[in-house]
Amino acid sequence: MNETNKQLPTDPLANNSIEEISKKLRDGSITCFQLTSTYCRRINILNAKLHAYIYFDEDSALSWAKSIDTLIENGVDLGPLMGIPIAIKDICSVNGMPTTNGSEIKSDHITGPEGSLVRRLKSLGCVILGKTHTVEFALGATGLNKNKGTPKNPWDSKTHRIPGGSSSGSGVAVASGLAAFAIGTDTGGSVRIPASFNGIVGLKTTKNKWPTDGIFPLSPTLDTPGPIARTVKDTKLIFNTYNNNIKNPKPINLNDLTFGKLKEPFTENLDPEVSEAFDNICKELVNLGASVEEVIIDEAREKATLFPTIVGSEIISAFGREKFLQVVDQMDPVTGIRAKLGLKVSSVEYIKAKKRMPELNTIVRAYFRKYDALISPTTIMQAIEVDNSSVGNELHERSLLASANTQPVNIFGMCAITYPIQKFAKNECQQILPIGLQIICDKDNDDYAVEIALAFEKQFGTPELPNVNKFL
């Protein structure tokens, strides 16, 4: 019988948290081999439809799982992520796995050998299932990749909708139950956007909180790796375990907090459903006793010039100007157009842009003297159809606005997390597509951002997940 016609095993996280699975691994209720086998079966059945993974190594994953079981049997405990199957974005080097950076252009030498982040995850006992699809060279917010293929958003089995980029495959893998969590990278929103479009949680860490060696250097100034997970609870466990953070802070109550509700430009061009969900959850916060005040940060508009100046210059530097000119026309057209913008940037403009970033950080940090967090929609839209985001389509330009609300956070040097809020959109559509709430905190306050998001999750719950059985 064809693998795709076989019954889909139950998603291990359908009724469990990562912490609960971790406990089952230690008390012998399940083995790592059994857990990993379940994920492998789900990948074998669904990946042909969803295209979350560009590379999947079942034999290696199962062999690693057996080794983890042996360690557990011998009393070795590497922490709560030991034995948890995960996925890695394909701009991160993993020993024994190819790194394409989402491109037909050979570039693994630029990415370099396996880096500190992956080695750390391995040392914690994570089982790496494979590499997930990405936008070419991680330069794009929609998730489109003409050369390597575009993952399918699992919320719509009939229409191919954008998965969000550039960590497109990571978002789809987690939402579809093809990995317990995944690693993405966020230069201008590439963890938060796919998390938002797929109805899950994504944490944009503060710059240098997690290492970037062994990761394609799209923009050394802005690149930040981060986890994509089902829930805030899982995200907290991942973040704290990775950072060896054993603090157990007092739970946060939403009614004790003061929020800055970001207005223009963060509320410009919103889909009606996004606007409704954002306004409604702000009303809920007020009803709970929280303080919500409207805030306008005009400096956010500077991302329109600062982001392409910095990223455009630095992606050219990654290749070297001469090599870049040789290969740019082989790139996906959208990627190539965006990358070429860097050719027009002078050294003076680049230096000015770099100098402006700490100035903006100082300006925006002042808001956190008054507000515990700033909040906005993560994206201005829900996931649009892939055909409507193609070059030449009337909605193409709108699709490029997917990162409009996330890029400023990178430019400001802050941390942020996205939490799903589509339940607050009272539309009557047969299918409600995901909507994300972006929670922004001051730099190096990543754990606080996670705690605030956890308070949202405890108050409003975790959202329903997509019905991937419709893809069978």
CATH assignment at residue 445 = 3.90.1300.10
Binning pLDDT at 50, 70 and 90, where does residue 463 land? confident
Cα 428 off chain centre by:
28
- Tokens standing for residue 377: 């929609």
Decide: 132 and 177 in contact? Cβ < 8 Å: no
* Confidence band of 387 (pLDDT split at 50, 70, 90): confident
- Stretch 258-286: mean pLDDT: 96
- Three-state DSSP class for residue 271: coil
What does pTM read for this prediction?
Answer: 0.96
For the chain, the farthest-separated pair of C-alpha atoms sits apart, in whole angstroms, at: 63
* CA atoms within 13 Å, Cβ hemisphere of 460: 26
In a domain, 23, yes or no: yes
Q: What is the pLDDT of residue 395?
A: 62
pLDDT above 60 (res 120): yes
* pLDDT for residue 92 is more than 90: yes
Of residues 431 and 132, the one with the higher pLDDT is 132
The answer to the question of residue 5 being in a domain is: no
Q: List the end-to-end C-alpha distance of the chain, in Å, as a whole number.
A: 14
Q: How confident is the model at residue 34 (pLDDT cuts 50, 70, 90)?
A: very high
Q: Confirm whether 10 is domain-assigned.
A: no
Distance CA 27, CA 31 (A): 9
Residue 399 binned pLDDT confidence (cut-offs 50, 70, 90): confident
Distance CA 132, CA 120 (A): 19
Average the pLDDT over each of 36-40, 187-191, 244-248, 335-339 and give the range with the smallest value: 244-248
- What is the phi/psi pair of residue 73, to 5°? -60, -30
Average pLDDT over residues 216-230: 98
Residue 115 has pLDDT above 60, yes or no: yes
Task: Show Cβ contacts of residue 238 under 8 Å, excluding neighbours closer than 6 positions.
Answer: 18, 81, 181, 227, 229
Q: Is residue 123 assigned to a domain?
A: yes
- Which residues form the domain of 109? 16-471
Strands 224-229 and 291-295: unpaired
Q: Three-class SS of residue 333?
A: helix
More confident residue, 210 or 6: 210
**396 burial level (CB within 10 Å; 0-12, 13-18, 19+):** middle
Task: Write out pLDDT tens, residues 415-455.
Answer: 999 999 999 997 655 458 999 999 999 999 999 999 999 99
Report the distance separating Cα 459 and Cα 470, nearest Å. Answer: 30
Q: How many other C-beta atoms are found inside a 10 Å radius of the C-beta of residue 246?
A: 7
Contact 449, 240 (CB under 8 A): no
The residues carrying an active-site annotation are 89, 166, 190
pLDDT over 50 (residue 143): yes
Counting residues of the chain whose pLDDT is more than 70, the rounded percentage is: 96
CB 139 within 8 A of CB 315: yes
| Residue-wise pLDDT tens digits, 300-313 | 999 999 999 999 99
Angle between helix axes 232-242 and 446-460 (nearest 10 degrees) is: 160
Question: Is the pLDDT reported for residue 4 higher than 70?
Answer: no
Does residue 441 lie within any of the structural domains? Answer: yes
Strands of 373-377's sheet in order across: 53-56, 127-132, 85-89, 181-186, 224-229, 201-204, 415-420, 436-441, 373-377, 258-262, 291-295
pLDDT for res 6: 73
What pLDDT score does 430 carry? Answer: 43
pLDDT digits (tens, 9 = 90+) for 275-299: 999 999 999 999 999 999 999 999 9
Q: Whole-number mean pLDDT of the chain?
A: 94
Quick check: is 86 in a domain? yes
How many structural domains does the chain have? 1
Please report the pLDDT score of residue 428 as a whole number. 54
Judged against a pLDDT cut of 80, whether residue 1 lies above it is answered with no
pLDDT at site 2: 47
pLDDT of residue 248: 72
Distances (CA, A) of 175 to 21, 181, 202, 230, 275: 17, 9, 11, 7, 23
- 45-59, 63-77, 240-254, 341-355: least confidently modelled range: 240-254
* Sign of the Cα pseudo-torsion (234, 235, 238, 244, in order): negative
Say yes or no to pLDDT of 388 above 80: no
Is residue 322 assigned to a domain? yes
Burial letters for 367-380: b for 16+ Cβ neighbours within 10 Å, e otherwise? bbeebbbbbbbbbb
CA 250 to CA 185: how far, in whole Å? 29
Residue 182 has pLDDT above 70, yes or no: yes
Arithmetic mean of pLDDT, 180-195: 98
- The verdict on residue 6 lying in a domain is no
